[in-house]
Structure 1
């Protein structure tokens, strides 16, 4: 990949990383509840999922998913169901007043947060469609493996920056509003948005 191509790829890629979706909503929520560090570490689950998707795309399986109506539909409905379930789980925690903080969040909760990040990412077929449709526009066919590796590493690196960006916003919101009532309302909004993302995913159609 030439420098000119990379300089076109990087900002376009970062715009995708910054797009507000279910995973970035998780970073915002975790940042508010538990702080930037925990939100960033939890995002390792997301990065593993994206790395797997990039690998599958590189070896051609991403194109199979993009072309298969059945595969796309199965992943879509499983992902949508998970987002709706996760949304209701967040709403239940808001109703119960179970607000996690940096001081009270146990270590095993971090593993659970990482798992939520992973399954939220892996259950969204639109993510692999991004890699299937977006990456090839910048692909150097004379250096297929190297250019795909550069794009993959760049995407994951910029994703970390996006995670920190949303986690810091969440942390700042939490610092400005530490009352239980405000945090409960934030959980309600977060849970409702997650359910909305799930419903939106359920109505997503595979591009022709």
Structure 2
């Protein structure tokens, strides 16, 4: 690929990433609920989930998903249900004592947060739709392997997203410190954010980006 094409892609991707989307709201909710490290682990998890979509898109699986209304609907509702489940779990299982225990032994929670974050992104079919709609605008069949170009653009996008999402995670963690409110209130806010994201995901349509 030509450098000018890659540079144009970087500029376009950066402009899109500045606007917070569902993934950013999820990451910020994690940071507000459990602090900076949990937010950054969520960023890594979302990046891993995005990598799955990039690989799927490169081999054509995402294209098949987008052409099957049934497959899209199944994945969409599974993802929405999982977000709503996380929200309800956060709302009903939160307590100041439990939050204190998490703060004292966070290392036991990182793998769980990583897996949950990756799963949330993997089960978001709109990510696959976005990649399939956005990346081809910068791919030239004459430049070589289309799959290779898709993977390259995917790697660039995920790297940019990782940096952008990390900044949002740090911002949310800073807000959390300044809020100085009880863990119970923090978890209520986080739980409602998850539920709203789940409901929003449930109304996702293949025709929308």
What is the TM-score of this pair, normalised by structure 1? Answer: 0.87
**Pair 1:198 & 2:191 matched:** no
Alpha carbons 1:87, 1:191 under 8 Å: kept: yes
List 4+ stretches of structure 1 deviating above 6 A: none
Which position in structure 2 is the counterpart of 1:156?
158
Give the Cα separation in 1 of the matches to 2:38 and 2:108: 12
Q: 1:162 to 1:87 in 2, by over 3 A?
A: same
Alpha carbons 1:40, 1:160 under 8 Å: kept: no
Aligned residues: 205
**Pair 1:13 & 2:16 matched:** no
Q: 1:103 to 1:77 in 2, by over 3 A?
A: closer
Give the Cα separation in 2 of the matches to 1:5 and 1:101: 50
Alpha carbons 2:33, 2:190 under 8 Å: kept: no
Which position in structure 2 is the counterpart of 1:50?
50
Alpha carbons 2:26, 2:193 under 8 Å: kept: no
Which position in structure 2 is the counterpart of 1:59?
59
Alpha carbons 2:58, 2:148 under 8 Å: kept: no
Unmatched runs of 5 consecutive residues or more in structure 1? none
Q: CA RMSD in A?
A: 2.2
Cα offsets for 1:18-56 (capped at 9, x unmatched):
443443223213333444344223332222211111011
Which position in structure 2 is the counterpart of 1:131?
131
Which position in structure 1 is the counterpart of 2:185?
185
Alpha carbons 1:82, 1:198 under 8 Å: kept: yes
Q: 1:170 to 1:87 in 2, by over 3 A?
A: same
Alpha-carbon distance, 1:101 to partner: 7.9
Alpha-carbon distance, 1:141 to partner: 1.2
Alpha-carbon distance, 1:186 to partner: 3.1
Give the Cα separation in 2 of the matches to 1:33 and 1:65: 33
What is the TM-score of this pair, normalised by structure 2? Answer: 0.87
Q: 1:45 to 1:88 in 2, by over 3 A?
A: same
Give the Cα separation in 2 of the matches to 1:191 and 1:167: 17
Unmatched runs of 5 consecutive residues or more in structure 2? none
Alpha carbons 1:31, 1:171 under 8 Å: kept: yes
Q: 1:16 to 1:92 in 2, by over 3 A?
A: farther
Alignment partner of 1:205: what SS?
Answer: coil
